[in-house]
Amino acid sequence: MDLLDTLTAKGLRGEAPTREEALAVLATTDDELLDVVAAAGKVRRRWFGRRVKLNYLVNLKSGLCPEDCNYCSQRLGSKAEILKYTWLKPDQAADAARAGVAGGAKRVCLVASGRGPTDRDIDRVTDTMAAIKDADPEVEICVCLGLLSDNQAERLKAAGADAYNHNLNTSENTYGDIATTHTYADRVDTVQKAHGAGLSACSGLIAGMGETDEDLVDVVFALRELGSDSVPVNFLIPFEGTPLAKEWNLTPQRCLRILAMVRFVNPDTEVRIAGGREVHLRSMQPLGLHIANSIFLGDYLTSEGQAGQTDLDMIKDAGFEVEGAGEATLPRHRADVAAAASGCGTAASACGSAASACGSGGGCGPCGGHSHDAPVSETADESGDSGDSAYSRDSADELRSDLVKVRLRGAGTELAPNA
């Protein structure tokens, strides 16, 4: 049985590949790419059918962060010409959220720059969540405020948050290369605090920062071990004015391999294509939908995405459907575990999603009530054609800063949001 047969069979059973198998996915050739996508697509459809969950980002507080994450346009010392503003008022945030929900999003992701929230910030977000849920009680809310202190996750949960996003971003070994003001262990601690409080854990990665394949595999297995319900996969947006502005080392083919590897390691977890989707996948975005079951609608935290209607058209044209508010995101066995952890006894707060910690992408959210645990009619005999495991890294993209468009509409502006 070759690599893709093995990975498909394991994925259909909800099992992870070995580390070596995950590395081999990243080493497949362009000739094998469609076979890789097809194999990952079988696993995706087994657990998520043809549904695509839409998530909508609301940047509550933009820029001026004291942390030094190299990938982030909001970092200390960033020269990126992004919007900078302090906390949106609850009604302003609720207006932006409403636009996203009207556009088809079932989850709203409330994100604020900064190391972590003060207790006063938790009060602000509590008021904001109340304003959003007053207008639409069904909407899922994921919160992303940075590192949490004791009892803050419990306060957010009690205030109605469904999920908390905090990305690991990269491997433990290389974390010190992308940020020095906090550690990988700090990030793990916050994900555990959120999970421990009964919030759905949303935690993912950023690819394209100069990491090795081993780093990518390390962080993806770490996310599985942490029990993240949702794994946002960000592709670095190299903002002018940040230390990684020249890190254009992704191709659409490389992005698809990374997504496939994430799917095989986390077969029954929400996998979201997060920041950098349009910039790096470009015309190959629809192939990504065969692997991931979740995306952000419209714009990101500090950059603009394609028009929300274009997202919807893409989903429809590719033969997928937008996941409805009454549909559960996660398979029942995952939803039940999350519900038990939260002590709520329903399958309500099981999913996850969320945005890239703050810098390059963005997004979060919980689930509904139905089950999608039943297979959607796939068989396990996809014949892959991987064979050639020779490592062939894609050639780097040229500098494509023309593809990066700073967000100048929506939250924090007088202009309508893109949704």
Name the site residues for ligand SF4 (rule: CB under 6 A): 65, 67, 69, 72, 74-75, 113, 146, 357-359
10 Å CB burial of residue 63 (0-12, 13-18, 19+) is buried
**Nearest approach, Cβ of 301 to ligand SF4 (angstroms)?**
8
To the query of whether residue 202 is one of the catalytic residues in this protein, the response is yes
**Nearer Cβ to ligand SF4 (77/343):** 77
Other Cβ atoms closer than 10 A to 32: 21
Report H helices in 244-399: 252-265, 285-289, 308-317, 332-342
* Catalytic (active site) residue 367: no
Catalytic residue among 44, 46, 69, 351: 69
Output the smallest distance, CB 100 to ligand SF4, in A.
Answer: 20
- Set 45, 107, 202, 263: catalytic member: 202
Q: Which residues contact 359 (CB under 8 A, 6 or more apart)?
A: 69, 71, 72, 73, 74, 75, 206, 275, 301, 302
Task: Tell me whether residue 109 is one of the annotated catalytic residues.
Answer: yes
Residue nearest to ligand SF4 (CB): 358
CA 65 and chain centroid, separation? 21
State yes or no: is 69 an active-site residue.
yes
Catalytic residue among 44, 51, 72, 257: 72
Closest Cα to residue 208, out of 274, 114, 112? 274
Nearest distance from C-beta of residue 197 to ligand SF4, angstroms:
20
| CA–CA distance, 74 with 66 (Å, rounded to integer) | 9
Q: Which is nearer to ligand SF4, 293 or 302 (CB)?
A: 302
Q: Report the residue number, 243 or 352, with the smaller CB distance to ligand SF4.
A: 243
* CB 247 to ligand SF4: min, Å: 15
How many other CB atoms sit within 10 Å of the CB of residue 377?
Answer: 8
CA-to-CA separations, 367 to 69, 156, 158, 326, 344, in angstroms, rounded: 30, 17, 17, 8, 13
Closer to ligand SF4 by CB, 169 or 342: give it.
169
- Amino acid symbol at 382: E
Yes or no: say if 111 and 362 are a contact pair by the CB < 8 Å rule: yes
Q: Kindly state the smallest distance separating residue 349's Cβ from ligand SF4, in Å.
A: 24
Is residue 65 part of the annotated active site? The answer reads: yes
User: Which of 44, 51, 272, 334 does the annotation list as catalytic?
Assistant: 272
| Cβ proximity to ligand SF4, 68 vs 214, nearer residue | 68
Active-site residues, by number, are: 65, 69, 72, 109, 142, 202, 272
